[in-house]
Chains A and B, each alone.
Chain A
């Protein structure tokens, strides 16, 4: 340590080593972003550009991938297409340049809607149940508290396929197989363990004096919970909700094994988007990009709570 940084604490890294560290981290960040950037680029390519060798970085952007993922098209003869009127919309225009007409929305649309319903439904349920239980565990003397909490967590250690076998049989018996309700219940049960652990941490941090003061003022315990604790826990509840949402949104193993047509979500569907003559990569990339956008937004929103979320509240900043 030289005299140049005597003004700082002795443990401050020197400017040189700091710059070097920054350089290495930025290099890693750029390399790690290449695959992701490549998918976003591919989604704007035409099918020919997407499979050209060497891979094209500069290309004429096209929305064909997005059109293909959202619509189904049928091949028609030139004569038939000429009998139709002017193309309706951009996608029809692109389709006609390939001797096709848009026949209707693709299956991606209902899959995406399923994803939305199942993710939001299970998140709402998991957060509601989780908040109540977390408050119960945080504030009351519950017999076998530690065992119950551990039991709640241990349900996450089962391999998903192992859970899927009996769930498949059970849902078949009670008529829940391939239904949205079945998937919502299943995802809720997976998410509720995370929600309880995370929210217990957040509620533990709210001083219990607040509720006691409210109860002295004449609130019942339940009113104190609703009017004092819940508003204080808003940040924690929001962060937990986003974690549950991300899990349910991304989940694949249960979705691919337990759903087929009716309640299938987007993750098992995206890999099987097939065009004429093999996989339609721009369409797959477009479906992927469209699916990833909410996650990127959530990650930015969550960045302060990420650590707590991914370790089930075991590590807190």
Chain B
């Protein structure tokens, strides 16, 4: 991710300050000031992020339980890792997560790119409508999950009413959140509603970065609109689309709040994404050691996948 951001922005290489200026500097040396400025942030992150992470790694090798803090802690080695990686329930959760991530990212990318493409036509009032479209992604996922449970109510919910109105089915004949086949899609719909604007915004930046003269040249060569789209618009916007996919992929792999409020992982475990499994193990059955091991596995997975993806993204960008 670092290469990525560094390459898409203007980077100022550390230019040595001219001697005339350097001689004028009084007080702290630049090096001392640099550390003075950076250290507080690093200390905070070490205390609140890195120390706990190291602790988690330690706990993942033990049988520690947070609700029995005084019980003797036994070193278990990699037992938890082995049992997690061979546990069919964990793989089921990973499948649910994969279903959620793949479909949300796919829908959001298609819709988001389509919207960006249309907005880029710069019709009258596009600024206002863009701001309106952006609103859902700024809201609290918890609040969104909560009010969508209201919209999904079979007897009184607006969603069921609208579906019933257009399909002629009875509104109370289906339950978006209580049905084994529908609930995985219910969470996909809400996430797509909320995060399509995010992809749209990034794609729009991509479309606007394509210089006009390329289209003008294509126009001179009498390339059709269709041809222009496939050979100019899409390839040139691709790094941006891939960036949006990366960010959404990471976020949705970690998804907790919205799903927790919509379904809580239910019915059964049909919408139990990895974070919900983790929460159940960590804060309901208090299997701290076990859940620490699972947390590390998830972190390594996200980190690994993201790194592979960024390599691919950089290859696309350098083409």
- B71 at interface by CB-CB < 8 Å: no
- B61 at interface by CB-CB < 8 Å: no
Q: Are A317 and B205 in contact (CB under 8 A)?
A: yes
Chain A interface extent, by class = 35 or more
Q: For residues 21 through 36 of chain A, which have their beta carbon under 8 Å from a beta carbon of chain B?
A: 21-22, 24-26, 28-29, 32-36
Partner of B21, one of A34, A216, A253, A257: A216
Residues of B within 8 A of A284 (CB): 146-147, 150
Known: A25-B115, A271-B261. A307 touches B122 (CB 8 A): no
Q: Are B215 and A11 in contact (CB under 8 A)?
A: yes
Q: Are A189 and B132 in contact (CB under 8 A)?
A: no
- B14 at interface by CB-CB < 8 Å: yes
Residues of A within 8 A of B31 (CB): 140-141
Known: A52-B156, A220-B25, A271-B142. A138 touches B161 (CB 8 A): no
- Give A313 Cβ to nearest chain B Cβ, in Å: 6
How far does the alpha carbon of A180 sit from the alpha carbon of B53 in the complex, in Å? Answer: 22
Q: Are B142 and A53 in contact (CB under 8 A)?
A: no
**One of A59-67, A83-91, A105-113, A196-204 at the interface:** A196-204
Chain B interface extent, by class = 35 or more
Q: Are A249 and B299 in contact (CB under 8 A)?
A: no
Known: A22-B126, A161-B295. A132 touches B138 (CB 8 A): no
Nearest B residue (CB) for A185: B48
Known: A32-B133, A137-B38, A250-B141. A158 touches B161 (CB 8 A): no
- Give A200 Cβ to nearest chain B Cβ, in Å: 9
Residues of B within 8 A of A25 (CB): 115, 118-119, 123, 126, 129, 133
- Give B63 Cβ to nearest chain A Cβ, in Å: 15
Q: Which of B5, B151, B156, B256: most chain A CB closer than 10 A?
A: B5
- Give B226 Cβ to nearest chain A Cβ, in Å: 13
Over the window 161-187 of chain A, the binary record of Cβ atoms lying under 8 Å from chain B Cβ atoms (1 yes, 0 no) is 111111111101000000000000110
Q: Are A311 and B2 in contact (CB under 8 A)?
A: no
- A152 at interface by CB-CB < 8 Å: yes
Q: Are A252 and B171 in contact (CB under 8 A)?
A: no
- B306 at interface by CB-CB < 8 Å: yes
- Give B236 Cβ to nearest chain A Cβ, in Å: 14
How far does the alpha carbon of A67 sit from the alpha carbon of B121 in the complex, in Å? Answer: 46
Over the window 279-319 of chain B, the binary record of Cβ atoms lying under 8 Å from chain A Cβ atoms (1 yes, 0 no) is 10011000010011001101100110010000000000000
Q: Are A271 and B52 in contact (CB under 8 A)?
A: no
DSSP class of B's interface residues: helix, strand, loop or mixed?
helix
**One of A74-82, A94-102, A233-241, A290-298 at the interface:** A290-298
Q: For residues 24 through 38 of chain B, which have their beta carbon under 8 Å from a beta carbon of chain A?
A: 24-28, 30-31, 33-38
- B83 at interface by CB-CB < 8 Å: no
Q: Are B135 and A299 in contact (CB under 8 A)?
A: yes
- Give B312 Cβ to nearest chain A Cβ, in Å: 16
Partner of A9, one of B139, B212, B296, B299: B212
Partner of B216, one of A10, A204, A317: A10
How far does the alpha carbon of A157 sit from the alpha carbon of B304 in the complex, in Å? Answer: 11
Q: Are A292 and B202 in contact (CB under 8 A)?
A: no
How far does the alpha carbon of A1 sit from the alpha carbon of B224 in the complex, in Å? Answer: 10
Over the window 219-238 of chain A, the binary record of Cβ atoms lying under 8 Å from chain B Cβ atoms (1 yes, 0 no) is 01110000000000000000
Residues of A within 8 A of B44 (CB): 129, 185, 188-189, 192
Partner of B25, one of A140, A215, A295: A215
Residues of B within 8 A of A252 (CB): 140-142, 257, 260-261
- A124 at interface by CB-CB < 8 Å: no
- B74 at interface by CB-CB < 8 Å: no
